[in-house]
Amino acid sequence: MKTRILAAMLAMTAAGATGGAPALADEFSPAVVFDQGGKFDKSFNEAAYNGAERFKKETGTAYREFEITNEGQREQAMRTLVRRGASVIVAVGFSQTAAVEKVAKESPNTKFCLIDDKLAAPNVQSVTFKEEEGSFLVGMAAALASKSGKVGFIGGMDIPLIRNFLTGYEQGVKHVAAADEVFVNMTGTTPAAWNDPGRGAELAKSQFGRGADVVFAAAGATGLGVLQAAADAGKLSIGVDSNQNHVHPGKVLTSMVKRVDVVVYDCMKSAKDGSWKAGHRVVGLKEDGVGYALDDNNRKLITPEIEAKLEEAKKQIIAGSLAVKPYQP
């Protein structure tokens, strides 16, 4: 029954994306499987959505999509998209690795792009990011903006990926102010940790109570609670993945941006124009795969002096003269 319902949902999504007609064998038909938290999480999934929308706008090619709401849907969704003629399927998030590995093996003529994990297969392109490099820069910004000498970090699910954000952030803070304290909380150990704004707000308030005046949220939709709590308390927050400066203008110091949008766009574009290649690649500051966000919403917070220090560190990291260590379990 669940399989039939899922197939029906995908059929409706596909019809909406293609004007009601299924894709023909010779038509290019891309698809995206969003991870838990939803495509409008203002973070990781939404960055992927923006990349897909950019592809659709520039090429006039619609795409199919599916939003995962429970673990059991991943393989079913991908198989249904394959049956409906998907040329390339973008799987958003490391938690989709097992499903991609299995379905890609079953479907050798379909291309897959896996974001945030490494997977070797002849029809899979996987992309990971140097989160530690972008987090180093926002850690510097936090220390430079802090008046208390105490800053915080709130992660989502306690996994090596989020620990990589943390280790870069801590290095950036200490690079500026070796004596500063960094408070750390993880939201949980299950996928539910990505979508619990209330818990994020609680953790942020706890850190503010201990003296933190800047908190970095690397927690998906849970981070929205952190940003809200910071705005309410008159403190500063740091967004993640997408540019979240606009969520609370003047209250979000900056955002550590992962260019998931560019990766999704490039995957679809290369698959369409014939330049797509399987394999694994890692993107960091040098490849413009990570960075920090600066716009009208936080221009007054990131002063020219802070910006100059961040840009100098960025140049040094790219040149290799300033080493940022990734997380080591």
Chain mean pLDDT for the chain: 91
15-24, 181-190, 220-229, 259-268: which range is least confident on average? 15-24
Q: For residue 24, is pLDDT > 50?
A: no
**What is the C-alpha to C-alpha distance for residues 289 and 130, in angstroms, rounded to an integer?**
8
Nearest of 217, 223, 235, 230 to residue 197 by alpha carbon: 223
User: Cβ atoms within 10 A of the Cβ of 198, count?
Assistant: 11
In percent, the amount of the chain with pLDDT more than 70 equals: 92
Q: Is the pLDDT higher at 102 or at 27? A: 102
What letter represents residue 307's amino acid?
E
Q: For residue 164, is pLDDT > 90?
A: yes
Nearest of 232, 243, 247, 251 to residue 298 by alpha carbon: 251
The answer to whether residues 219 and 156 touch, using CB atoms and an 8 Å cutoff, is yes
pLDDT band at 89; cut points 50, 70, 90: very high
Average pLDDT for 301-318: 98
Convert the pLDDT of each residue in 280-296 to its tens digit.
999 999 999 999 999 99
Q: Is the pLDDT higher at 177 or at 41? A: 177
pLDDT band at 26; cut points 50, 70, 90: low
What's the pLDDT score for residue 14? 41
Q: Is the pLDDT higher at 2 or at 148? A: 148
What's the pLDDT score for residue 329? 87
Q: Is the pLDDT higher at 8 or at 216? A: 216
Convert the pLDDT of each residue in 258-281 to its tens digit.
999 999 999 999 999 999 999 999
Average pLDDT for 124-130: 97
Average pLDDT for 304-322: 98
Convert the pLDDT of each residue in 232-259 to its tens digit.
999 999 999 989 999 999 999 999 999 9
What's the pLDDT score for residue 69? 86
Q: For residue 52, is pLDDT > 50?
A: yes
What letter represents residue 193's amino acid?
A
- Fill in the DSSP letter of residue 328: -
What's the pLDDT score for residue 222? 94
Alpha-carbon dihedral 247, 249, 252, 255, rounded to 10 degrees: 60
Nearest of 316, 270, 141, 161 to residue 214 by alpha carbon: 141
Q: For residue 10, is pLDDT > 70?
A: no
**What is the C-alpha to C-alpha distance for residues 241 and 129, in angstroms, rounded to an integer?**
11
Convert the pLDDT of each residue in 189-211 to its tens digit.
998 998 899 999 999 999 999 99
